[in-house]
Structure 1
Amino acid sequence: MPGLIRGVARTAVVAGTATAVSNRVTRRQQGRWAAQEGFGAYSPQPRAVAEPAAPDMTDKIEQLRQLGELRTQGVLTEAEFEEQKRRLLQA
């Protein structure tokens, strides 16, 4: 039972950290776009209306990017990163 709880806790930490990192990256990128276009930091950005060909693959790529950031930050070990990557790509 303690192993299961530890696994659930680790998953919660990883997911929470990934979400926080993703949100921070998104805010920074929007700020950069706004600065380049002369808008304020919180102005709505014009977006192209285009549906991605494979939304599942886009989501997987974003999740892989987040996992890579977590590995770089030392939150995930190399083995944990490889395991999560394997699970993600098999899904």
Structure 2
Amino acid sequence: MPGLLRGVARTAVVAGTATAVSNRVSRRQAGRWAQQDYAQQTAYQQQAPAAPAPEAQAQRAPSDGSPDDMADRIAQLKELSELKAQGVLTDEEFEAQKRRVLG
């Protein structure tokens, strides 16, 4: 019985270690992909015009303060704060996007 228990314990330790290593590798890879995506977005934003085209502004509906509009704004602000917390957005980018959503 002690030999069986030792074998089960060894298997549990090996499986736990393998799971921990696999999770860490997955997190590191996801972090690298996020950095690549951020670099691509930054490069694209630098190439894109700073102000939207006048016809795009004309198509945007004016904010009427309806509950649906406020819910959308709150959802956008939450998403922006999550991106900032993850390090995807800098403080300046966050503030600029926040002004865009609220303004």
TM-score by length of 1: 0.43
User: More helix by proportion, 1 or 2?
Assistant: 2
Structure ID, larger Rg = 2
TM-score by length of 2: 0.38
